[in-house]
Structure 1
Amino acid sequence: MDETYYTIGMAGHIDHGKTTLTKALTNVDTDRLKEEKERSISIEAGYAPLHTEDGTHVSIVDVPGHERFIRQMIAGVAGIDLVVLVVAADEGVMPQTKEHLEILQFLGIKRCLVAVTKIDRVDEELQEFVGSDIKEALSGTIFSEAEMVFVDSVSGKGVEELRSAIFSALKQVEFRDRFGSFRLPIDQVFTVQGQGTIVRGTIYEGVIRQGSSLTVLPAGKKVRARNIQVHHENVQEARAGQRTAVNITGADREQINRGDVLVASNHFLVSKTIDVAVRLVDDMEHPIKQRAPIKLHIGTSEVMGKIVFFDRNEAQTAQDEILCQLRLEEEVVVRRGDRFIIRRPTPVETIGGGWVIDPKGEKYRFGTETTNMLEQKKVGTPEDLIAAALNEHTLLNEQQIIQNTSLDNAVVMAALNSGIQSKRFIPAGKKFVLTSTFEKGKKTIEEFVVNYQLQHPMRPGVNKAELRQSFLDTFPRPFIDFVITEMLEQGIVKQQEQYLSTADFRQHLPPRWKARLEEIIDQLKEDGLQVRKWEEYFVGTPLPEAIAGELKSFLLQTGQAYALTDDMIIDQQVFLEAVKKLRKMTNETFGLQDVKGAWDVSRKYMIPLLELLDQWGWTTREEGNRRWLHSENG
């Protein structure tokens, strides 16, 4: 069975014991910064592995509790599967506790445990009072039924009960999709001497492997994963849900920022205008006016922008979602369904949160026409929901589509048929793919093949297995094979043995070295039957070392030369002329002396040349001599 990976978060008011509780559970002190040690508060989110008996991999995120560090808190809980809300028994629910609760709900965190800490400081009566206070604070939220565990992190009382409650709750969590396109929002960037640039974050979806080709968005910087670590241990791959550090090559520390996203495909949109569904907090002090400045927190990004309403000029409280738009000052990486928080820059407060309806919004007019359009986008037709699922997973069969959309079987079949007729979807065997994804994959593969041909014009094309391997971090293998098959049928590419090339491609000498290589080919012809070792033809030339092997393979594959030995080849025309001469000067059966008389070469060349004759089926050995198998050669 596949291993599962989860990330859980410790949230709550400052000094309520999150860090101490994390250490009690994991034996890891997550306060790593000097300032944190001195001030006894968490500034940056800390991470620790929680070991389980059944092999489930869990990371605990200890997020900051102080109001001034709310930005780090939001980045820390983005991507967690379960939250442990920490409330100190000697203080109870505090303002920061309530704000964290709001943020957790806006970010779509569905499962929560409550850890009441520092119980050794209060008597049982006060513990009961705090428990009632917490239940009241949770009433009306999605966490109203959250299990409550009373602990003391110093003495260890209740810690094992909390650990068991965590494992039990995680069994109810649907773990993240490791088959989706890899995405890791970056929350830490630093350098290690001798290693280079390190980025760290929690993998939202997909898999990263050592050596993977990646892109840093929104800048589009191409990098490669040199090394991967999960909780300080080197691994070959990391999956969705894991807290991961990636040592990358191709970018300096200064070229990457917190909030950037590491991806392995071009499935992700970069946008400055996003259509959203927003819910506001219940007790906002000041109304939000049309085009008011806001600070958006999405993934690990923090971006300034403004909120644009289409059905009102201001908002203060709203029971329902407000369909509106965020216009940002910087690009962010988003997908439909991504959760976010918005805050007011001044006075600083959390305004609300919501989810992305359309990552690539446009400018719309104020009025009901726009709100109706956004409502339709929000709900989505069955085709839209199927398209969203296919966009995320690339290839799905009918059953998988039903699972991912929660649509009825008959509705799915009707929507698929409609989408195929409108050319929105393409059948791929028993699965389906978006036409746009197929076209993107076709274009990407064709560009790869063309670039390969430009770099290696003397080769017959790119090895199919090599091409497939190059895209495994971007597309699933069945999709790659489907696209290649379709491209072959459409005549976009052709296949020669295991090699793929564009339909009009012919192996040829690289223009840059053409004159020099033609000189070598001429020298090979001039040497006739007594050729030199192949590498000797390149001595004293400015040609790159690798090109000797390339030219040799090119001449053999195109039939311009034959292999005489491992390190010698002979020109085709020279050899054919020699065969004609030998045929004319010998009888049906002939010996070595006959060959020497015709070719005037030493045994060094004579034996390989005769073996080449046998290899091509012109002659056969017979009692120490050779016999011609054809009345005419060639």
Structure 2
Amino acid sequence: MSERFYTIGMAGHIDHGKTTLTKALTNIDTDRLKEEKERAISIELGYAPLSLGDDYHVSVIDVPGHEKFIRQMIAGVAGIDLVILVVAADEGVMPQTVEHLDILNLLGIHHGLIVVTKMDQIEEDMIELIEEDIGGQVEGTFFEGSELLFVDSVSKKGIPELREKIKERLAGIPVRDARGAFRLPIDQVFTVHGQGTVVRGTVYEGEVSEGDTLELLPQQRKVRARQLQVHHQPKKTGRAGQRVAVNLGGVSKQEVSRGDVLVSTQYYSTTRTIDISLNTVDNLKFPLKQRGYIKCHLGTAEVYGKIVFFDRNELTEGKGVLCQLRLDQPVVTRRGDRFILRRPSPVETIGGGTVIDPQAEKYKFGEETIEMLSRKSKGTPEERLIDLLKEKKSLAEKEALNDLSMDKEELDEVTAALAKEGSLKVFGRTLVLEATAQELIDMIEEELKAYHTDYPLRDGKELAQIKQDFSSYGNEAAGKIIDEAISQGVFVKTGALLASADFKPGYPKQWAKRMQQVEDSLMSQGLEVEPSAVLFEKAGLPEDWAREQTHFLLRTGNVMSLDDKHLLSSDAFNKGLISLYHNTGERFTLQEAKHIFGLTRKYLVPLMERIDESGFTKREDSERVWVKKPAE
């Protein structure tokens, strides 16, 4: 069978035997701090490997039970696969046990075992009463109906049976998906002499290998995984479900804190505004006010912020309340992540739930926002991608991975399915809905139609300007859509200009006769033409249209510029050029040219300069030399 990686959490009231039970199962004492030894309580998270054989790789987390250490408890429980709820036989369910149950429920943990410790301290006839007491307390939780396992951790009575039961339960729990992008919320930071900074945590998603370049968030700091260890054993890789220690290169211990996250460099980003679905605890002591101050536990992070409601100004209790968190500091999260909310003062657990949108925006108060959040929360991956693309018009693959909290493989499956059915276009790493692409094409066609009406003599509109006009679609996406439309014959690109496929530049109907009059005059006047302004004035053309026709005639090549005041028929210029070539030798003077053309200096000088500029002749002192022969 393939290797299976799991994390088990020990939860329960202080001094109910979690640490002793962990030691009985693993032969490791997880109380590692001097203060913990002296006070006989767990302050920090304790970890130990549990050997079950058959390729099962299991980490046991002994989470603190004392109320003051609830933060560490939440950090430890986030990311576990199976919970062992520890209840001491001589005390039963205590207040801290109830709070742990609430937190486990709110974190969406579904698999658990109930273990009653210190069974040597009770009489046989007390077992039934203990079972009834615990059964009543766990009613309505995922522990409801669970079998109780009685053990004595010191004598190890019941421990072999517990190990078998753990293995049996784990066999029915799917292993964490290692295909996604790597994410490790950090719960411990320390230094090792000669090695530098080491961080530890449970890998939520994906896989990490020795030598990988990672990103430390929210600092946005590039680091390198120099070495990896799993329970003090060197490893080349670590994967989802494993407790992994990573020796980091490129960062000091002072720059890293519990709550920071190690991620694959391109697939995650930070956020401070999160859409959520909130479930409160059943007996909330005090109502939660609009924009009330909260403490959010997300993964291993603990961040303060405010809660924003869109359909109420106060919350006493509720399930699936759609609202938003606006945090004081950035966090790393994805859709579907679980969180816990606590009230800073007076201290109590408010509730918890799931992240709907990790990259949320600010919305208006009202039913419309609630309906939108409801759609977000219920949508399939395909529906969520479609909704997001409707909102943002186009998305780079990296943005989609962030905004939708999908891994790359899942996104690839979704995009492939939507592309196959024809509702999505994929341009490299850019995603656009087919309807959006068509909408953009239609809008550009309307834009070009209006432009061709206003400027019928131009070859088209500047493509750069069109992209700027429709920048809300994303420059890259707009460019790809336009390129595809050009290849399909919808548009025609001439240089840097874009035009409708059926458009041909030409004189507009209302000015056609007058423009033709100017063109005819230029053709008939030969080399001795009237100034352009006079020609346009005689034809009765407004200044704007005169300017447009000038550019049009120059672009078509029928006309050329003699100087800044005169246009010249290209045909007249070519005929004159050929005549000059045949009636002169290799060299000739201005006087000879005057004799051939019969022009005054007013026209002769600019004409000869134009011939020079065209590369046919070159001036040397008072003569001109032929450089190339004109085509006949």
TM-score (norm 2): 0.64
Q: Secondary structure at the match of 1:42?
A: coil
Alpha-carbon distance, 1:392 to partner: 2.8
The match for 2:363 is: 364
Matches of 2:28 and 2:102 in 1, distance apart?
28
Q: Is the 8 A contact 1:310 1:371 kept in 2?
A: yes
Q: Secondary structure at the match of 1:198?
A: strand
Alpha-carbon distance, 1:148 to partner: 1.6
Matches of 2:430 and 2:229 in 1, distance apart?
34
Structure 1 stretches of 5 or more lacking a match?
402-411, 437-485, 491-634
Report the aligned-residue RMSD: 2.3
Matches of 2:164 and 2:80 in 1, distance apart?
18
Q: Is the 8 A contact 1:269 1:335 kept in 2?
A: no
CA separation of 1:45/1:434 partners in 2, compared to 1, >3 Å: closer, same or farther? farther
Alignment of 1:32-431 (within 5 A): 32-318=32-318, 320-381=319-380, 383-384=382-383, 392-395=406-409, 415-417=418-420, 420-423=422-425
Q: Is the 8 A contact 1:383 1:416 kept in 2?
A: no
Q: Is the 8 A contact 2:334 2:405 kept in 1?
A: no
Alpha-carbon distance, 1:269 to partner: 2.6
Alpha-carbon distance, 1:62 to partner: 0.3
Matches of 1:414 and 1:9 in 2, distance apart?
39
Q: Secondary structure at the match of 1:91?
A: coil
Matches of 2:153 and 2:381 in 1, distance apart?
50
Alpha-carbon distance, 1:359 to partner: 0.3
Alpha-carbon distance, 1:213 to partner: 0.5
Matches of 1:313 and 1:393 in 2, distance apart?
36
Alpha-carbon distance, 1:417 to partner: 4.1
The match for 1:619 is: none
Matches of 1:243 and 1:344 in 2, distance apart?
30
Alpha-carbon distance, 1:382 to partner: 5.3
The match for 1:462 is: none
> Residue type of the partner of 1:185?
P
Q: Is the 8 A contact 1:20 1:153 kept in 2?
A: yes
Matches of 1:273 and 1:228 in 2, distance apart?
33
The match for 2:549 is: none
Q: Is the 8 A contact 1:64 1:72 kept in 2?
A: yes
What per-residue deviation string (whole Å, max 9, x for no partner) do you get for residues 236-264 of structure 1?
11111000100010001111111000011
Matches of 1:261 and 1:63 in 2, distance apart?
20
Which deviates more from structure 2 when the two are superposed, residues 190-199 or residues 1-10?
Answer: 1-10
Alpha-carbon distance, 1:416 to partner: 4.9
Q: Is the 8 A contact 1:153 1:159 kept in 2?
A: yes
Alpha-carbon distance, 1:138 to partner: 1.3
Matches of 2:44 and 2:405 in 1, distance apart?
34
Matches of 2:380 and 2:11 in 1, distance apart?
37
Q: Is the 8 A contact 1:391 1:434 kept in 2?
A: no
Matches of 1:68 and 1:382 in 2, distance apart?
40
Matches of 1:301 and 1:311 in 2, distance apart?
28
> Residue type of the partner of 1:358?
D
CA separation of 1:434/1:167 partners in 2, compared to 1, >3 Å: closer, same or farther? farther
Q: Is the 8 A contact 1:30 1:47 kept in 2?
A: yes
Alpha-carbon distance, 1:196 to partner: 0.2
What per-residue deviation string (whole Å, max 9, x for no partner) do you get for residues 312-336 of structure 1?
1111122x31000000000000100
Q: Is the 8 A contact 1:214 1:224 kept in 2?
A: yes
> Residue type of the partner of 1:294?
I
The match for 1:4 is: 4
Matches of 2:385 and 2:257 in 1, distance apart?
34
Which deviates more from structure 2 when the two are superposed, residues 389-398 or residues 105-114?
Answer: 389-398
Matches of 1:197 and 1:414 in 2, distance apart?
44
Q: Secondary structure at the match of 2:104?
A: helix
Alignment of 1:586-597 (within 5 A): none
> Residue type of the partner of 1:422?
L
Matches of 2:363 and 2:385 in 1, distance apart?
26
Matches of 1:166 and 1:434 in 2, distance apart?
46
> Residue type of the partner of 1:435?
L
Q: Secondary structure at the match of 2:65?
A: coil
Matches of 1:385 and 1:369 in 2, distance apart?
17
> Residue type of the partner of 2:431?
T
Alpha-carbon distance, 1:147 to partner: 2.7
Q: Is the 8 A contact 1:216 1:263 kept in 2?
A: yes
Matches of 2:168 and 2:58 in 1, distance apart?
13
Q: Secondary structure at the match of 2:302?
A: strand
Q: Is the 8 A contact 2:418 2:424 kept in 1?
A: no
Matches of 1:137 and 1:260 in 2, distance apart?
35
Q: Secondary structure at the match of 1:246?
A: strand
Alpha-carbon distance, 1:395 to partner: 3.0
Q: Is the 8 A contact 2:52 2:163 kept in 1?
A: no
From 428, 435, 438, the equivalent of 2:431 is 435
> Residue type of the partner of 1:327?
R
What per-residue deviation string (whole Å, max 9, x for no partner) do you get for residues 487-541 of structure 1?
xx99xxxxxxxxxxxxxxxxxxxxxxxxxxxxxxxxxxxxxxxxxxxxxxxxxxx
What per-residue deviation string (whole Å, max 9, x for no partner) do you get for residues 449-506 of structure 1?
xxxxxxxxxxxxxxxxxxxxxxxxxxxxxxxxxxxxx9xx99xxxxxxxxxxxxxxxx
CA separation of 1:36/1:397 partners in 2, compared to 1, >3 Å: closer, same or farther? closer
Q: Is the 8 A contact 2:424 2:431 kept in 1?
A: no
Matches of 1:266 and 1:414 in 2, distance apart?
24
Matches of 2:286 and 2:262 in 1, distance apart?
37
Q: Secondary structure at the match of 2:135?
A: helix
Q: Is the 8 A contact 1:276 1:356 kept in 2?
A: yes
Q: Is the 8 A contact 2:301 2:331 kept in 1?
A: yes
Matches of 1:333 and 1:417 in 2, distance apart?
33
Q: Secondary structure at the match of 1:435?
A: strand
What per-residue deviation string (whole Å, max 9, x for no partner) do you get for residues 76-128 of structure 1?
01100000000001000111111101111111111010000001001122222
Alpha-carbon distance, 1:189 to partner: 0.7
CA separation of 1:155/1:238 partners in 2, compared to 1, >3 Å: closer, same or farther? same
Matches of 1:395 and 1:188 in 2, distance apart?
30
Q: Is the 8 A contact 1:267 1:391 kept in 2?
A: no
Report sequence identity in percent.
58
Matches of 2:155 and 2:419 in 1, distance apart?
60
Q: Is the 8 A contact 2:2 2:55 kept in 1?
A: no
The match for 1:566 is: none
Q: Is the 8 A contact 1:112 1:147 kept in 2?
A: no
The match for 1:507 is: none
Matches of 1:129 and 1:381 in 2, distance apart?
46
CA separation of 1:125/1:434 partners in 2, compared to 1, >3 Å: closer, same or farther? farther
Matches of 1:337 and 1:382 in 2, distance apart?
12
Alignment of 1:7-18 (within 5 A): 7-18=7-18
CA separation of 1:413/1:255 partners in 2, compared to 1, >3 Å: closer, same or farther? closer
